[in-house]
A and B are shown apart, each in its own frame.
Chain A
């Protein structure tokens, strides 16, 4: 009774066992959809379209992937998606970095107003803006081009990126800035050669959100890429597979796997920073 128990020690042994068993079970349930997706992508067609689905396969095959890549310009769509997401990630990261620096490193009139505006802008449902965005893209002749996907997504990912980057910019000590100025560095030099590399990890973590929302988008792709199918993106190709009366489930799962893997890789790579970034965004 006199010893202060450690946090873990407070729970009695049988309860901890129950807790740990349920944790593992829940982990299995949560991971199951992804497992089933990958599994079905590698199953031969006869096993996917079978009324006795088994949670394993003894004859893995790449047929479904082959079908996906042959049936349409899937490779092309993949590249388009990558190009759009890449352009959005880079552009919004640079713009957001500058804006986040402005609102954390300077005091000026309307600063709070701007911050509230950035916060409010995050709430705007982008789907609701499809209609005016369609007319806007038509007026600037961007319909059917990749620009019609890149431009709106830069705008939609900016507010959240700025909001989240603030924490990372703030974390760089002001003393560093003083030192740099005393050493005669110009503002621009400080910005790009000192601040930028220090904030870069946070920038990458923030980018995961712009990447996901852009990668995921099919509404703009569906509405703005009307006739130029060579400029279509992955989600559209996936929906073509999915949208028939009797979907080719093996193909859908293979397509889904191809679409999910890049995001998973990106996510796992930045997850540590992501959590700390969220912590920062939450605490602020």
Chain B
């Protein structure tokens, strides 16, 4: 009793340790304030200013534009088509990743150790591959002249990166390849964590596999599914490397642009820093929306974070 009380006093920091947690947090907070919060503030600020090459070099002072940049952005048809492409493409990637990842996680529970290990190792390899080398390798695999895929499928010299949809499809394949392992491994761990007695009891009660999946496993796996879904949405929505590398900066005439690459091209290729920042703010707001949904789901489950 006294021991616990003493320790409690320590843990709650009643004995002179009131500032200790803040001391421990200080380095993290300083770094995050300077290198994350401040840039976000700057991003918002630049998006409200007239900021081009002249202002960067200091030739002209930056002038306040109000929401002028946003008006220009929203009046631009390309912005809307890029936004639509981003949403559709991210949705496709998320569904593809989740479907493949969950299906393979279930498959893993049905096979013996050797095939399971083989798939696990292959998946870890795909997971560990840096996005940039993954991109170069996939472009090479689908190369019209020297790639094995066209030979295998008998497609001759079909150039995947020329057409808008075939280029998006190629990037989609690469993204699913490198992101399904996270879903598969996490879901597999989740399925294994379900006590086998529960499943056996359901089976003894005469429940079919489908019924077991729907009424027993799915509810138990829902929390994990929420995490991997949100994580996938966030990753796929802000995809940059794959599009940039595989379609050479956004495809022919920008046909494969997604928001993130679009913002970068606006800012650094055409020096319209304020427009690029405005696109960045739009992205931040969309991802913030996803985060709020996530927090809501967490809270509804009554989780203490």
Contact = CB atoms under 8 A, between A and B. Distances in A.
Interface of A: 4-5, 7-8, 10-11, 16, 19-20, 22-24, 26-28, 30-31, 33-34, 36-37, 40, 48-53, 55, 94-96, 98-99, 101-103, 105-108, 111-112, 114-116, 119-125, 127-133, 135-136, 151-152, 154-156, 158-159, 162, 174, 177-178, 181-182, 187, 212, 215-216, 218-219, 223, 235, 238-239, 242-243, 249, 252-253, 255-257, 259-260, 263-264, 266-268, 271, 275, 278-279, 282-284
A50 B146 contact: yes
B189 A275 contact: yes
A131 B43 contact: yes
A123 B126 contact: no
Contacts of B177: 30, 33
A53 B146 CA distance: 7
Contact of A174 (B7, B108, B203, B204): B7
Given A127-B238, A178-B6, A239 B245 contact: yes
B133 A260 contact: yes
Nearest to A4: B200
B146 A49 contact: yes
B118 A106 contact: no
Contact of B39 (A34, A136, A243): A136
A156 B130 contact: no
B227 A282 contact: yes
B123 to A, nearest CB: 6
17 contacts: A23-B115, A27-B118, A30-B122, A51-B146, A99-B25, A111-B21, A124-B287, A125-B260, A129-B40, A136-B42, A154-B31, A155-B31, A159-B32, A174-B7, A181-B7, A279-B186, A282-B224
Tell me the dominant secondary structure on chain A's binding face.
Answer: helix
A50 B28 CA distance: 53
A249 B6 CA distance: 67
Given A4-B200, A252-B140, A267-B128, A121 B32 contact: yes
Contact of B240 (A99, A127, A271, A283): A127
Interface of B, secondary structure class, is helix
Given A23-B118, A124-B40, A155-B32, A102 B147 contact: no
Given A129-B39, A219-B264, A238-B136, A33 B25 contact: no
A36 B126 CA distance: 13
A264 B107 contact: no
Contact of A177 (B7, B40, B147): B7
Given A16-B110, A23-B107, A31-B122, A37 B43 contact: no
Given A36-B148, A136-B39, A31 B21 contact: no
B6, B112, B136 — most chain A CB neighbours (10 Å): B136
Contact of A30 (B29, B119, B199): B119
A171 to B, nearest CB: 16
Interface string B57-89: 000000000000000000000000000000000
A249 B118 CA distance: 28
A177 B107 contact: no
A27 B120 CA distance: 8
B38 interface: yes
Nearest to A129: B39
B169 interface: no
A229 B205 CA distance: 69
Given A119-B305, A131-B267, A249-B146, 20 more contacts: A7-B109, A30-B177, A33-B137, A34-B129, A114-B25, A124-B40, A124-B287, A129-B280, A131-B43, A132-B277, A135-B42, A155-B31, A155-B36, A178-B4, A216-B131, A256-B136, A257-B133, A266-B128, A267-B124, A268-B124
A98 B24 contact: yes
A132 B46 contact: yes
B264 A130 contact: yes
B218 interface: no
A278 B188 CA distance: 12
Nearest to A53: B148
A84 B16 CA distance: 39
Nearest to A128: B280
A263 B31 contact: no
A108 B13 CA distance: 9
A51 B145 contact: yes
